[in-house]
């Protein structure tokens, strides 16, 4: 695969916190229009890698390429304008706004900053939004099948639906690559399945090229929906490959289940 096929590439990223090596020479590639998984036990360095890729954390070594452009020294806001969006482990939504208003705001942050709050607060609330905005927001609501939630205040939503709002809001920034940090955490089985289906759908059905880099503890879901998976452990990349390769990797099993589990299986 040539460099042109990758939307996001992190090369030899190293990050230390004092004496702790949170990431040691980690490289990762996210091809266009695909879902790539990133898994690993607690403290493995997954969120730190997101920080380095999105620009909130400055690594000691390595480089980041976004759409073929070196963004290693580029600020997070600029990386966002160049096509990268991310969600955080702890979603933060605005209590006073509806689901639709969240998506509208995100769209305006990206495309029309000067109209940010124009028809949400104050006397100009009679101003009608432009058709392009309404169309873009409607398309995201339809894609994620959240029509029935659109006019609800976010405070009225269960956790599973707030995760969908997070994804919707990130999509409204029209990213080429979206970094999702544990979008399924706290969801029940049905909610997880619904969100996983929605993620596959946004990548396969979106009109524009879109890729997801998915950090998730729910390894079964990651294996089910990702084209390629990277496995981190104590800041080291210990494996990468297709779902089948990861499933059959002794190294991965040892990292997750302990070495005993692997030798027990080997002895069967």
Ligand X SMILES: Nc1ncnc2c1ncn2[C@@H]1O[C@H](COP(=O)(O)OP(=O)(O)OP(=O)(O)O)[C@@H](O)[C@H]1O
* Closer of 149 and 231 to ligand X (Cβ): 231
* Closer of 42 and 190 to ligand X (Cβ): 42
Q: Which position among 46, 100, 108, 228 is part of the footprint of ligand X (CB under 6 A)?
A: 46
Of 39-47, 94-102, 157-165, 197-205, the window that binds ligand X (rule: CB under 6 A) is 39-47
Give strand pairing partners of 240: 230
Q: Which position among 10, 40, 55, 59 is part of the footprint of ligand X (CB under 6 A)?
A: 40
- Alpha helices by DSSP H, listed for the chain, are 46-54, 76-81, 99-111, 131-143, 159-172, 189-205, 219-225, 243-247, 250-257, 259-267
* Closer of 47 and 249 to ligand X (Cβ): 47
In whole angstroms, the minimum distance from the beta carbon of 89 to Mg ion comes to: 5
Token code pair at residue 175: 């990213």
* Closer of 92 and 207 to Mg ion (Cβ): 92
Q: From ligand X, Mg ion, none, which one binds at residue 228 (CB under 5 to 8 Å depending on kind)?
A: none
- Angstrom distance (rounded) from CA 164 to CA 137: 14
Q: Residue 21: in which H helix or E strand, if any?
A: strand 20-31
Contact (Cβ atoms closer than 8 angstroms) between residue 238 and residue 251: yes
Token code pair at residue 103: 């998506």
Q: From ligand X, Mg ion, none, which one binds at residue 22 (CB under 5 to 8 Å depending on kind)?
A: ligand X
* Closer of 46 and 107 to ligand X (Cβ): 46
- Angstrom distance (rounded) from CA 129 to CA 79: 27
Q: What is the DSSP string of 129-161?
A: PPHHHHHHHHHHHHHTT-GGGTTSBGGGS-HHH
Of 14-22, 29-37, 118-126, 256-264, the window that binds ligand X (rule: CB under 6 A) is 14-22
Interface with ligand X, residue 35, by CB under 6 A: no
* Closer of 176 and 182 to Mg ion (Cβ): 182
Q: Which position among 8, 9, 22, 149 is part of the footprint of ligand X (CB under 6 A)?
A: 22
Of 36-44, 119-127, 247-255, 256-264, the window that binds ligand X (rule: CB under 6 A) is 36-44
Q: Which residue is listed with tokens 């090369």?
A: 11
Positions touching Mg ion (CB under 5 A) are: 46-47
Q: Which position among 31, 43, 129, 153 is part of the footprint of ligand X (CB under 6 A)?
A: 43
DSSP single-letter state for residue 98: B
DSSP single-letter state for residue 113: G
Residue ranges that bind ligand X, judged by CB under 6 A: 17, 20, 22, 40, 42-48
């Amino acid at each position: 695969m040539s460099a042109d096929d990758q939307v996001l590439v992190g090369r030899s990223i190293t990050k230390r916190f004092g004496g702790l090596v949170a990431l040691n020479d980690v490289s990762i590639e996210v091809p266009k229009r695909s879902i790539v998984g990133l898994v690993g036990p607690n403290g493995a360095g997954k969120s730190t890698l997101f920080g380095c890729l999105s620009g909130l954390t400055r690594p000691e070594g390595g480089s980041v390429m976004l759409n073929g452009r070196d963004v290693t020294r580029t600020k997070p806001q600029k990386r966002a304008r160049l096509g990268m969006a991310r969600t955080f482990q702890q979603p933060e939504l605005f209590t006073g706004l509806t689901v639709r208003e969240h998506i509208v705001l995100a769209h305006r942050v990206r495309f029309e900053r000067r109209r940010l709050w124009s028809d949400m607060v104050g006397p100009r609330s009679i101003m009608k939004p432009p058709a392009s905005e309404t169309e873009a927001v409607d398309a995201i609501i339809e894609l994620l099948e959240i029509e029935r939630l659109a006019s609800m205040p976010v405070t009225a939503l269960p956790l599973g639906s707030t995760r969908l709002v997070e994804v919707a809001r990130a999509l409204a920034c029209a990213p080429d690559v979206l970094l999702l940090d544990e979008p399924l955490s706290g969801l029940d089985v049905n909610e997880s399945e619904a969100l996983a289906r929605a993620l596959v759908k946004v990548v396969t059905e979106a009109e524009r090229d879109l890729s997801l880099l998915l950090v998730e503890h729910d390894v079964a879901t990651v294996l089910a929906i990702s084209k390629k998976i990277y496995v981190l452990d104590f800041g080291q990349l210990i494996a990468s490959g297709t779902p089948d390769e990861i499933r059959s990797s002794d190294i991965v099993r040892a990292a997750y289940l302990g070495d005993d589990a692997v030798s027990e299986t080997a002895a069967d």
